A and B are shown apart, each in its own frame.
Chain A
Amino acid sequence: MGRKLLTEHINVEDIETLDVYRKHGGYRSVEKALKTMTPDEVVEEVKKSGLRGRGGAGFPTGLKWSFLAKPEGVPRYLVCNADESEPGTFKDRQLMSKLPHLLIEGMITGSYALGANTSYIYIRGELLYVLRILEKAIAEAYAAGFLGKNILGSGYDLDLYVHPGGGAYICGEETALLESLEGKRGNPRNKPPFPAVQGLYARPTVVNNVESIAAVPVIVNEGGDEYAKIGVGKSTGTKLFSACGHLNKPGIYEIELGLPVEEFIYSDEYCGGIWKGRDLKAVVAGGSSVPILPRELILKTAAGEDRLMTYESLSDGGFVTGTMLGSGGFIAMDETTNIVRNTWNFSRFYHHESCGQCSPCREGTGWLEKVLHRLVHGHGQMHDIDLLVSVAKQIEGNTICPLGEAAAWPVAAAVRHFRDEFEWHVTHPQDATKPGAVFPGKLVTA
């Protein structure tokens, strides 16, 4: 059983209240940071921790913080990205609704480190009920002197607000999020300038995922070096995985990075194996935008080593035989899953969610959806399969934001690993389009 740094107390009764949260050690990092550390010392601890952005990109959080421009007399902002929308991912919703004060504590300590006096939590609009929970907790924090003027007599001031989105996956991209926070359509911005220089209201801004910010209190309390002792190599600390799909025990699991994927899927401590006594066919390990892997390649790397739940191990083999840790949205598919249909579903998602600014994405996602639709419905032709790969290639790298890649990668990977199932849809359309049809070929073409 690994250590739980974020979720140890998640099932404690009334942990969403300030009193109970404090009884379990809550807000210690605020006292420690504001009373005994300079802002730069806090940044230094986060750097030492090796914490990598938990939203999906995996960029070192401390490094991101150190890039923040600090011109004299100009306000700067910390914005929490709580626009959790990557299919397969539901960790932040759980964390915020059960442990609102953990995020608030991280926001206070983080804002102090960055010298921000106003900070925002941008939460997806569908989670308005979580916004209410956070606002209630924030009111408690103000009343207890953890927010507002002269926090704990330190001379440091901070106002913290929660801002709802309106239903748009693209707002999880940090510059689209900032546009949205300014009351506009969520169109990602051209970079540079990066948010660290010109972010919210053209002021220096850091945008961090909920889980990244929630890790700050434990890093400050225990020290960055201690945090870095957990995990493997450059994958330090713990990570929340959202397990879903055809698993016996879907849910949120906080694991020490380095756990073997096989143990995560089959151990009763975690997902408890595949439902209905079936076999595993494929996994999307890090949210819908990362490459899908067949059973063999998610359990073992191409070199035959155990695949571990770390940034490095999951991406071992590049996109030929590997994938990415991404957001930790872990989607398992059993042997009856129709991979072509599933790929079409994700393509429809990306087409629907493309903001429409860049033509390769706006048009390309539409092409992917349409071509996959005809394959799923038995109207596809053999050259459609290569057409998918060709369109995916033309989107990739040609867009302002990574939604293009997010749309292209899953399609390219599905064709790479399951080409015979795509071909089956062309050669046996009547079989393939029957309700509940299961591809009869061998399960895996690694």
Chain B
Amino acid sequence: MESTAVKPQFSEAAQAEIERICKQYPEDRRKSAMLPVLHIAQAEFGGWVSPEVQDLVAEVLGVKPIEVYEVSSFYTMFNLKPVGKHVLEICRTGPCMLRGSDELTAHLERITGAKVGGPASEDGLFTLKEVECLAACGFAPIVQVREQYYEQLDTPEAVDAMLTELRNQVHRPALPWEENGLPNALSNN
């Protein structure tokens, strides 16, 4: 894909992690690392995978760019547009709905100012995204933010505690191969 943007590069730590992961599969099956590498890319480049980042993934895996695009567009965890510092993934499926996920979504839209499926809130902090069942139905309603589950968000206090914690997070939490977490968003919203 032609672009004038600066070509992204993985950090050395991420590169080393990618090589560790690729060794988990037979030598001629490097493509198997597609999903784990896309996860690393999304964590590395501000919470979304731009076309340039996807091209980088293709290069690292030795596959054609289209092989990455068709995967990134199939799986819902990969954000294909810029996002806010924190993407709040609100479970909307039956068991969460029974315990108030519709009300939770409306509440989050009110206090963040962001809309589900829309751009990030004006302060660039929050993107709201509705997702399907997160497999934590006994603790509904639930929001996932990166690797963290926030459960039983059925009171304004619980929601406030989550948002306060996120507002105070300057960097996202460090991943196992990193010394420090990265800034939460690299993109301008």
Contact = CB atoms under 8 A, between A and B. Distances in A.
A429 interface: no
B24 interface: yes
Given A88-B95, A90-B135, A349-B93, A164 B39 contact: yes
Given A86-B133, A124-B135, A244-B95, 18 more contacts: A84-B135, A87-B137, A132-B147, A163-B35, A166-B77, A166-B78, A167-B78, A168-B75, A182-B29, A183-B29, A183-B61, A184-B31, A184-B34, A244-B137, A329-B137, A341-B97, A342-B94, A345-B97
Contact of A129 (B131, B132, B139, B149): B149
Nearest to B137: A244
A86 B32 CA distance: 24
Given A125-B39, A129-B148, A342-B94, A165 B75 contact: yes
Contact of A126 (B77, B93, B99): B77
Given A86-B133, A164-B36, A342 B97 contact: yes
B34 A183 contact: yes
Interface in B11-25: 24
A181 B134 contact: no
Given A128-B147, A183-B35, A242-B138, A87 B95 contact: yes
A245 B147 contact: no
Interface in A354-370: 355
Given A163-B35, A167-B131, A184 B71 contact: yes
Contacts of B26: 201
Contact of A169 (B78, B99, B133, B138): B133
A329 B93 CA distance: 13
B70 interface: yes
A246 B35 contact: no
14 contacts: A85-B132, A89-B135, A90-B138, A126-B77, A129-B147, A129-B148, A132-B176, A242-B138, A244-B95, A250-B137, A252-B138, A284-B94, A329-B137, A345-B97
- A contact face: mostly helix, strand, loop, or mixed: mixed
B155 interface: no
Nearest to A355: B74
A238 interface: no
Nearest to A284: B94
Interface of A: 84-90, 92-93, 120, 124-129, 132, 135, 159, 161, 163-169, 180-186, 201, 242-246, 250-252, 284, 288, 329, 331, 333, 337, 341-342, 345-346, 349, 352-353, 355
A246 B138 CA distance: 10
A169 B132 contact: yes
Given A129-B147, A169-B132, A183-B33, A88 B38 contact: no
Contacts of A163: 24, 32, 35-36
A125 B29 CA distance: 20
A345 B93 CA distance: 6
Contacts of A125: 35, 39, 75, 77
Nearest to B39: A164
A183 B36 CA distance: 9
Given A185-B70, A337-B98, A90 B137 contact: yes
B70 A245 contact: no
A181 B71 CA distance: 12
A126 B133 CA distance: 10
B98 A333 contact: yes
Contacts of A284: 94
B35 to A, nearest CB: 5
Contacts of B135: 84-85, 89-90, 92-93, 124, 126-127
A62 B56 CA distance: 44
